[in-house]
Structure 1
Amino acid sequence: MRLALWLMPNKPSVARVYINDIACLASGAKAYVAPKGKGVVLTVSDPSIAGEVQAALVEAGIMKATDTLAKVPFARFESRVQVPGKPGGNTAKPRAAARSMPGTRDGEASALDLSSIPVPDPVVLRIDHREPEALFAAFKGLTNVTVERVELPLGDIEINGKYIIERKCCTETTGRTDFEASVVDESKRLFFQSEKLRLEEGIVPIILLEGNAHENSCGMLVQAVDGMLSYLLTIQKMNVLTTYNLSHTVYFLLKLAAHDRSGLGYEPPLRGKKPRQQQDQLIFVLEGLPGVSAGTARKLAVRFGSLAGLVAASEEELLLIPGMGPKRVAQVRAVLFGEGSS
């Protein structure tokens, strides 16, 4: 059994100890204890195995068979939290805090600099008034960026009048995440919201998951999360994107808005890194001709030795090369000489 401590971000008084690596927990299932009064309360994503989880705690020596969870102090679980590779001790960093540390992906996403995104043309972000204040504040003072606080009839964020984004928070909480609640609560909000997005014409619909939907769902199993994501993609035809946290969401929204208005800002190469050897350079160029595979390009390079040699070759000579049929020869000659092009 492995115990892991979690503290709620910005409110470390809210704590849990997750119970991992026990036989009765299926892949994706979760079990944790949280302090309640003088003892703890046990939460299991599959309530039918709560008794087995408690039996595993007894077997691990964390509690006695005669104990009731209401009288087992939370400190007893905290004292059994382990640092990977170090048996015993309670010096493990909280999961949420550890992920946000410098050097982690979450920490890297939190430190993204909006000023590094060129915005040469004006962009407009319309954000629903119910979204967090930090989302509005993040865009203040940016050149060519207009943010409007509105009541959106559809989605949470609208970018340049084209992209409609439904934002679902998946960060750790003491209960269900926003994403999980929108799937399993009686209202089934996400089903309704995605249907409205699907039926709206002239927009690009996006479901944005902010945080780790799989790890931070306290009731949905991994396969249930996968099922919902598959439904959004295949049935509802949504674009599903993910970010690490709110800071990352802000960065992504601005980059999306800038790319929509101004493009990438540079011309991306059509192919990968160019070779250094002359023969390989010739093959690299020949591979760019229509219908010419790497193998055929090598045969052409060996036979004709240079681009000048290929240009000077007759149609009959080209047809002698394996892989060069009449149609392919015509396509290659059209590129070389402009034959058949308008």
Structure 2
Amino acid sequence: MPNENIFYQKKIEVCDEMKPTVIADHRESQSGVIQHLLAVGVDVKFEKLDVGDYIIGDVGIERKTAGDFLQSIVDGRLLNQAKLLSETFEHPIIIIEGTDLHGRRLIHPNAIRGALAALSTDLGVSVIQTTDEEDTAGFIAVIARRSMKKKREIPLERRKPPSPTLDRLQRFVLEGLPGVSVILAERLLRKFKTVERVMMASEAELMLVPGIGPKKAKKIREILTSPYEFSQQGI
């Protein structure tokens, strides 16, 4: 019988490793979203998050009910929260939960449209509207599964782009930096114009680019400025 218990325990551990995982802010623990995530097989880990309500890899999600979204426009919180979300995560998302966005408060429709436009065009934040907690959980679960699939498909070595045009090679160079995807490489080049200027940028200058927060900027500068120390294990 002991062997059966060991086998069963190992089987459970393997299954847990294969589950998509979401990090949730501890204040979301009583939310119906959590129950729906667990029901569809998503593993949820709780932490005290300084930014966002849910984290999936390089995706940061801020969840707002329709009422809270409108209130955050009125009291001026929205753009500050969105800016912090954009600076911290490579893929920032705001979920607006509820279908009555235009019916809860006496706020002009153009103010709502302006806020939505600013989020996407000025700050690079994706805005998703869901109907309820179950719909929100379904959307988060899809992102978690895609993230898990993406990790499995990441090659061990970077390969030169098939058509090595100058712009692709420039992005390719920057994609070798920690946490820099093709999208972030494009943002860096648009901001600094050349690869050389990106490499010379300070932490403060790097953080002017949406998707680069203090931790990522510090890591990039660490990679660029640390003396090389040969390690046989690194080859």
What's the TM-score, normalizing by structure 1?
0.37
Q: Is the 8 A contact 1:166 1:207 kept in 2?
A: yes
The answer to whether the aligner puts 1:154 opposite 2:51 as a matched pair is yes
Q: Is the 8 A contact 2:34 2:137 kept in 1?
A: no
Q: Deviations over 1:272-328 (max 9, x none)?
A: xxxxxxxxxxxxxxxxxxxxxxxxxxxxxxxxxxxxxxxxxxxxxxxxxxxxxxxxx
Distance in 2 of aligned mates of 1:259 and 1:182 = 30
Which residue in the other structure is 1:73 paired with?
none
Distance in 1 of aligned mates of 2:39 and 2:126 = 30
Match of 2:83 among 177, 180, 195: 195
| 1:165 partner amino acid | I
Alignment length (residue pairs): 134
Which residue in the other structure is 1:165 paired with?
61
Q: Deviations over 1:98-119 (max 9, x none)?
A: xxxxxxxxxxxxxxxxxxxxx9
Which residue in the other structure is 1:181 paired with?
71
| 2:59 partner amino acid | Y
SS in 1 for 2:93: strand
RMSD: 2.2
Q: Deviations over 1:77-120 (max 9, x none)?
A: xxxxxxxxxxxxxxxxxxxxxxxxxxxxxxxxxxxxxxxxxx99
Distance in 2 of aligned mates of 1:235 and 1:157 = 22
Which of the two has greater helix per residue? 2
Q: Is the 8 A contact 2:21 2:43 kept in 1?
A: yes
Q: Is the 8 A contact 1:125 1:158 kept in 2?
A: yes
- What is the deviation of 1:165? 0.5
Larger Rg: 1
SS in 1 for 2:21: strand
| 1:190 partner amino acid | L
Q: Is the 8 A contact 1:121 1:258 kept in 2?
A: no
Which residue in the other structure is 1:139 paired with?
37
Which residue in the other structure is 2:141 paired with?
254
Which of the two has greater strand per residue? 1
Tell me: CA distance 1:248–1:214, structure 2 relative to 1, closer, same or farther (3 Å): same
Structure 1: stretches of 5+ with no match in the other structure: 1-118, 171-176, 264-342
Distance in 1 of aligned mates of 2:118 and 2:40 = 37
Q: Is the 8 A contact 2:96 2:128 kept in 1?
A: yes
% identity of equivalent residues:
29
- What is the deviation of 1:209? 0.9
Q: Is the 8 A contact 2:37 2:138 kept in 1?
A: no
Which residue in the other structure is 2:119 paired with?
232
**Greater relative CO, 1 or 2 (CA 8 Å, sep 6+):** 2
Distance in 2 of aligned mates of 1:138 and 1:162 = 22
SS in 2 for 1:147: strand
Tell me: CA distance 1:226–1:141, structure 2 relative to 1, closer, same or farther (3 Å): closer
- What is the deviation of 1:217? 3.3
Distance in 1 of aligned mates of 2:141 and 2:38 = 12
Q: Is the 8 A contact 1:214 1:222 kept in 2?
A: no
What's the TM-score, normalizing by structure 2?
0.52
- What is the deviation of 1:122? 2.9
- What is the deviation of 1:236? 1.1
